[in-house]
Amino acid sequence: MGGVKLVVIYNHKYLNNISKVEELYKDRFFNICHLMPFYQGTKSNVYTVYENSHRFNGFIAQAVDKIQDISVDHYLFIADDLLLHPAINQNNYKEFFNVNVNSNFISELISFHNLTSFWHRSVDALNFKPKTSSADISKEMPSFEEAKERLQYHGCSVLPLTIKQLENRNQISELPIILRTFKTVKYLVKKLFFSQKKYELAYPLVGGYSDIFILNQTSLKPFAHYSGVFAASNLFVEVAIPTTMALISENLSLETATKLKGLTLWSDKDITSLKNKYISLDNLINNFPDHLYIHPIKLSMWTT
C-alpha cells in the first residue's frame, strides 16, 4: 500500500473540464478519477452521480465502491475549480498536508457559536433535524452526546447560537428603501429584545471550507456512510463534510498545522484581479504564489 488517489469533484456537468484537469495533474498523480453529476460518457475513470451540488458530499456515498482502491494510503478530494500548488504530487502530498497513514485532513472546523457575524451555514445548522417525515437518520448517526464528545475531541465546542450568527445585517443595505427600513427596524427590535435568546442545535454540528479534504484508507467507508446520511437530510455540504470529518477521524490535520495555507477568493473582484495578474493558466502555474491551493480557478475563463 502507498500513495494517493486524486478524486476530482464537479458541482455540475462540465464535460470540457475533464481533459483540462487530467492535463493539469497527469504528471503528478498516477491515480485520478472524477465524480460528475449526470455523466453519460464512456471514460472509465469518470463516475456518474446523481445529487444536488449543495450536497456534493452525497457524491462520495453514491460512488464509494468505485472510488475505493485498497492499494493507496489516502484519497485526496478536490473541487474541479481548485488548483493545487504545482509542487504537490503523489510522493510528497503527506508533507504538504501534514498527514500520515492514520490521519485525515480538512482545512478548518468552525464552531458556529464562535462566529462574530452572520454566516448562512449557521442557519443550515440550526434548521437541521435528525428526524423528519421524509428522512429519519437518527439511528444512522452517533447519539447527541457521542457526537458532542467527538467534536470536543477535535477542539470544537457545541453551544447555543445567538442573533448575531443568525441575522444577516449586511443584506439589509441591498434591499429597496421601504423594505430596508422595515428590515432595519425588525433587526434592531430583535437585537434589543432577543439579543440574549439562545438557539439550541438539534444535533452537534460544525462548519468549514470543504472543497478539499483527505481521507485515509480506513476512513473512506465511514465517511461515505455519514455523508450519504447527511445528503438525505438536505444538510449543506459545508456543514455535512466538516461534521463528518470530526465524527470519523481519530487524527485530523487542519491548515493551522500546514506550512502553506490555501488562498480562497470570495469576490468577483478578487477572482478578476488574480486573472489579470497572471493572464494565463501556464503563467500562474509557473509562478504559483506560496499557497497550498487556490480556489476558485474557473478553467473555462483561463487561456493556457
All cell numbers assigned to 140: 444512522
CATH 3.40.50.1970, applies to 4-109+206-301: no
Domain boundaries, the chain: 4-109+206-301, 163-194
Q: pLDDT value at position 172?
A: 47
Q: Is the dihedral of CA 233, 237, 243, 249 positive or negative?
A: positive
- C-alpha atoms less than 13 angstroms from C-alpha of 206 in its C-beta half-sphere: 29
Give me the phi and psi of 251, to 5 degrees please: -125, 120
What amino acid is encoded at 290 in this protein?
D
Q: Extract long-range pairs of 11-20: CB within 8 Å, 24+ residues apart.
A: 11/37, 11/53, 11/56, 11/79, 11/80, 12/37, 12/53, 13/37, 13/38, 13/39, 14/80, 14/300, 15/39, 15/41, 16/300, 17/80, 17/299, 17/300, 18/43, 18/46, 20/299
List per-residue pLDDT tens for the chain, 304 residues long.
679 999 999 999 999 999 999 999 999 999 999 999 999 999 999 999 999 999 999 999 999 999 999 999 999 999 999 999 999 999 999 999 999 999 999 999 999 999 988 888 999 999 999 988 788 999 999 999 999 999 999 999 999 988 777 766 555 455 565 555 666 666 656 655 555 678 899 999 999 999 999 999 999 999 999 999 999 999 999 999 999 999 999 999 999 999 999 999 988 899 999 999 999 999 999 999 999 999 999 888 887 7
Question: E-strand spans in 10-65?
Answer: 32-37, 46-49
Gap between the Cα atoms of 24 and 86, Å rounded: 9
DSSP state of 199: B
Q: pLDDT value at position 182?
A: 60
8 Å CB contact between 55 and 231: yes
3-state secondary structure 240-296: HHHHHHHHHCCCEECHHHCCCEEEECCCHHHHHHHHHHHCEHHHHHHCCCCEEEEEC
